[in-house]
Structure formats: C-alpha cells, structure tokens
Amino acid sequence: MCAAQRVRVDKLAERGTEDFKRTAILVTITDTSKDDGRYLWLWILLAVLGTMGVGAAIFFGFGLLLPPATDPLTQEPASVFSSASVYDLSRSTLTATGILVGAGAAVIAYRNQRLKESQHSIERGRHSIERSERSLALQREYRTRYEVAAKQIGDNAAVVRLAGVFALGQLASDWPDRLARQSCVDVLCAYLRIPVRGRVATVADATFVEGTMVMVEDEPDKEVRMSIQRLIINHFKRDGEDVHWGDVDIDLTGATLVNADFSGSIFPGRVKLDRVRFSGDATFQGAKFNKQVSFDEAVFTRNSMFGSVTFLEGASFRKVRFKGLNMASARFGAHSRFGGVEVDGGASFSGTRFWKGVSFHNAKFNGRVTFVKTRFADRVWFENSRFHGRTSFAKASFHSSVTFELAEFESAPVFKSAGQALEPKINGATVAGDSWNGPAILKAVDPRPEHDEELNPIQVTTTPADRPRVMRLKRLLLVPRNWARSLWRRVRPAAPTVSKTAR
C-alpha cells in the first residue's frame, strides 16, 4: 500500500499597493507516495503465492475439521484423502478461495479508485496553482501600468501627460475588474475637473464670465483636456472602434467641455454633469442613459441638442441655463426635474414622452417653447413658471393632473386638439398681466396611456370604472386556492398534542 497523499493549503499575506490589495492563495500539493511501479512484479508473485497458500490451508483445514465421508460399498468411514473426500474438499476450497479472491479484488479496485481520485485532485491543484500564478502576474502587471500612467498624468510636460492619458484609457479597456476600471476613469475625469492651467498676460487677454475674470488656457494643457474628452466620448459611442469600458460611472462635476458630441452614445452607469460648462455646441442626439443622470446648474453657451434621447431612470436639469434647447422625441422613464431651468432661445419638447412625473416649477422660457404632441403620462407641474414667448401645447395629452398655478404667459398659450384627463389647476395664472381662464379646446383622454415596452412595460393604473372588474377577477382567481386550503385542512394529519403533565 502506498502512503496517503495529502493537500496542504497555505494562505499568504496580503500583497499589493494601497489602492489595490488582494489576498493571494498559494496551493501547494505535497505527494508523499512512493513510486511503486518497479515493484509490480513482486506484488504479483506475492499475490499468487499467497492465494496458493490460502487455498492449501483451507484444503487441509477442511480435511481436519469436516467429518470423514462414508464409503457407499462398505458403509465404513473413508480415508480423508480418498477420491470422494478430495472432491468435496476441493470444491469447498475453490468456493472459499474464490470468495477471498473476490473480496481482495474488491479491496484492490477500491484502492485504485481512491488513488485515481487522489491523482485527479493533485492535477486540479496544479491547475489551480497555474491559474493563481497567472492571475497574480496579471494583477501585478495592471497595477504597475496604473502606477506608471498615474505618475505620467501628474508630470509637468504635456507630452508625458498625453502618454499617461492614453495609457489609462487602454488600461481601463484591458482590466477585467470593474472597480479597477472605475479607478482609471475617475483619474481621467478628475483631470477635467481640475481648474484650467493658464495665465493672464494682460487684461485684454482675459475672458470675463458673469463679471469674473477667467485665465487664458494654456495650449498644451488644452490639448491634454481635449484628448481626455475625445477618449471618453469614443468609449461610449455605439459604433466606436474602442473597447467599451462597461458600466462605469462618469463624474465631470465642474468641468469644461468644448463642442461635446455625445450623439449615439450609451451610458450604462451613472452620469454626473453638474455645473459643467459646455463651450460651443453640445450634442446628445440619440444618446441613451441607463441610470440616473444629472445636469444640475450646468451652462450651455450655445445650442444644445437632446433629440431622441432616452432616460431610463431619473434625469435632473435643475437650474440649467440653455442658450437654445431641442429635446424633441425624447423619452423619460422616471421622474424628471426641470425646476429653475432658464432657456434664452427657443425650446422644443415636441413629441417627447414623459412616462413619470415632470416638474417645470420656477422655469423661465425667454423664447418660443413648443410641447406639440407631447405626452404627459403622469403629473406635470408648471407652477410659478414664466413664458416670455409663444407657447404651444397643440395635440399634447395630459393623462393625469397638470398644474399652472402662478404661471405667467406673455401671450395666450395654444391648446389646439390637446387632451386632458383631469381639470388643470390654474390658480393665480396670468396671461399678459390678466387673469387666465384656463386652457381652451381640450378633449377628454384616457387616463391610461399606451405603454412603452422599454420605459413603461406594465401599466398598473386603473380607473374607477375598471376597479370592480379587477376585483371580480381577483376573487375568481382566489377560488382554487381557497378550495385547496379547505381540502388540506380536512386530509392533513392532526398534530400531536402534549399535555402539561407530560411537559
């Protein structure tokens, strides 16, 4: 019998940098068995000799223990080694020897099976060691690349910073760990959030924004920032050639983006663009935001295009300043906020779908605003809003309550062929300084709007007329369950009772 094989697992100490610490597990396989292949012939010879010895012992043992056979002719006890006795002893010996040999074969087969399982466990351990070593080597390589790229981004030379930017972008594509990818993207976003490097040579060179003097941006640093902006945009394009970064979050709070073109982009993670200054045109045409997005207090210096944008979760545009806004055919799957928004040019929400509540309180529209064929599936608030241009709600549909309290219109809003489910609230609303009597030419619409497979797959809202029908359907579905419960109460065995004295 060979010695047993055992597996010893040793846990090593944690390795890695301060940001990336991992626990490395080294599996060491110790095989204490000897090589028994060269002694195989000896084991076979010993098995044959042992079987012969056991058979001889059984033969003579049966001859001494069993009573002698009777001679059929003389009716006298026959000799132990007569032909009849030898035949009976041989038969008994073969039977007993066969049983012993079978038991031995079973033991040997069991031992071989255990040996194979042990060898298979050793192979698995070896493969595990190789995988662990490869994984540790890759982790060390990724960490080294991260440290080198981070140092390059902090260098004074713009060329070195550019090298660090592209190195971090490629590392975010290669690194399979989601948290590590997020760290790479956070470094790139943090660079854009850092105040602009530059100087003010003369007062004439300075740029004034809302009475505040802004430094002239250094050209090399501007190229680095534009490279980061292009890198981020390309990694979220639908038809981009670069590898997607996955569901990482983007935080560009307070950054400055120049001619940002996110058209057709997909953002799987959260996007935070609060207080971002969009210099030049900002395009989000056909983009898709899978999680929450925030543009609070952002500034758009030129036209902003959000046509056919999809917001699956909440979208916030509070206190945003637009030069011109095009949000036609956009879709909002969750509650959206436009409180305090200010649009200096025209604004278009034509064909937009708001599947949840939307708030425009304290909004200010300084130009023409259109809500033509806009669908409001839930409540909408326009209280204390200011409309300083022509306003049109033609063919819009309000499937829930709408509030225009304290709203101000310079000209009468158009509600031609618009539909409503509930009477709008117009307390304190005015048109050209006079009290507003409310929207005209409205028709009744169904409180249950048609659903959207992606944003609003199931409509659970029911009208009072539908509720009795729904209750009848529920009661009908509960009948089989009640029958099954009553039948089970009858056929189930009674629970054993224990008296207080037995306790």
The dihedrals phi and psi of 300, each to the nearest 5 degrees, come to -110, 115
pLDDT over 90 for what percent of the chain?
43
The conformation of residue 373, written as its DSSP 8-state character, comes to T
Query: What are the contacts of 441-446 at 24+ separation with CB within 8 A?
Result: 441/415, 441/416, 441/417, 442/415, 442/418, 443/417, 443/418, 443/419, 444/419, 444/420, 445/397, 445/398, 445/399, 445/419, 445/420, 445/421, 446/399, 446/421
The dihedrals phi and psi of 120, each to the nearest 5 degrees, come to -65, -40
Q: Is the pLDDT of residue 308 over 70?
A: yes
Question: What pLDDT does 255 receive?
Answer: 94
Q: Is the pLDDT of residue 368 over 70?
A: yes
pLDDT bucket at 118, cuts 50 / 70 / 90 = confident
Q: Per-residue pLDDT averaged across 317-330, rounded?
A: 95
Question: What pLDDT does 109 receive?
Answer: 81
CA distance 332 to 104: 77
Q: Per-residue pLDDT averaged across 39-55, rounded?
A: 69
Q: Per-residue pLDDT averaged across 263-276, rounded?
A: 94
Which of 92-96, 396-400, 412-416 has the least mean pLDDT? Answer: 92-96
Question: What pLDDT does 77 receive?
Answer: 60
CB 436 within 8 A of CB 483: no
Give me 493's structure tokens.
């065995």
Q: Per-residue pLDDT averaged across 250-278, rounded?
A: 94
Nearest Cα residue to 96 out of 64, 47, 60: 60
Q: Look at the chain and report how many structural domains it folds into.
A: 1
Q: Are strands 386-387 and 408-409 parallel, antiparallel or unpaired?
A: parallel
CA distance 406 to 427: 6
Q: Per-residue pLDDT averaged across 204-209, rounded?
A: 46
CB 187 within 8 A of CB 150: yes
Highest mean pLDDT among 35-39, 103-107, 238-242: 103-107
CA distance 465 to 474: 16
Angle between helix axes 178-193 and 219-234 (nearest 10 degrees) is 140
Residue 37 lies in a domain: yes
Residue 86 lies in a domain: yes
Q: Is the pLDDT of residue 338 over 50?
A: yes
Question: What pLDDT does 409 receive?
Answer: 94
For 433, residues 6+ apart whose C-beta sits below 8 A from its C-beta are none
Question: What pLDDT does 238 receive?
Answer: 66
Which of 313-327, 381-395, 396-410, 479-493 has the least mean pLDDT? Answer: 479-493
Question: What pLDDT does 503 receive?
Answer: 43
Question: What pLDDT does 502 receive?
Answer: 44
Per residue in 157-205, pLDDT (tens digit) is 999 999 999 999 999 988 988 899 999 999 999 999 988 755 444 444 4
Question: What pLDDT does 85 receive?
Answer: 60
pLDDT bucket at 4, cuts 50 / 70 / 90 = very low
More confident residue, 388 or 79: 388
Q: Per-residue pLDDT averaged across 310-328, rounded?
A: 94
Q: What is the DSSP string of 118-161?
A: HHHHHHHHHHHHHHHHHHHHHHHHHHHHHHHHHHHHTSSSHHHH
CA distance 425 to 382: 10
Residue 92 lies in a domain: yes
Question: What pLDDT does 269 receive?
Answer: 92
Question: What pLDDT does 31 receive?
Answer: 44
pLDDT over 70 for what percent of the chain?
67
Beta strands across the sheet bearing 293-294: 250-251, 271-272, 293-294, 315-316, 336-337, 358-359, 380-381, 402-403
Residue 78 lies in a domain: yes
CA distance 229 to 279: 13
CB 265 within 8 A of CB 238: yes
Question: What pLDDT does 148 receive?
Answer: 94
pLDDT bucket at 315, cuts 50 / 70 / 90 = very high
Query: What are the contacts of 248-251 at 24+ separation with CB within 8 A?
Result: 248/172, 248/178, 248/181, 248/182, 248/185, 249/182, 249/185, 250/185, 250/189, 251/186, 251/189, 251/193
Give me 22's structure tokens.
């991992």
Which H or E element spans position 62?
helix 40-65
Residue 322 lies in a domain: no
Residue 411 lies in a domain: no
Nearest Cα residue to 327 out of 369, 265, 377, 365: 369
pTM equals 0.67
For 15, the domain range is: 6-149
Residue 430 lies in a domain: no
Per residue in 442-451, pLDDT (tens digit) is 887 877 676 6
pLDDT bucket at 344, cuts 50 / 70 / 90 = very high
pLDDT bucket at 119, cuts 50 / 70 / 90 = confident
Nearest Cα residue to 343 out of 362, 316, 315: 362
Give me 499's structure tokens.
């008296």
First to last CA, the chain: 56
Give me 469's structure tokens.
């029908």
CA distance 269 to 277: 21
Question: What pLDDT does 334 receive?
Answer: 92
Question: What pLDDT does 493 receive?
Answer: 59
CB 329 within 8 A of CB 311: no
Residue 458 lies in a domain: no
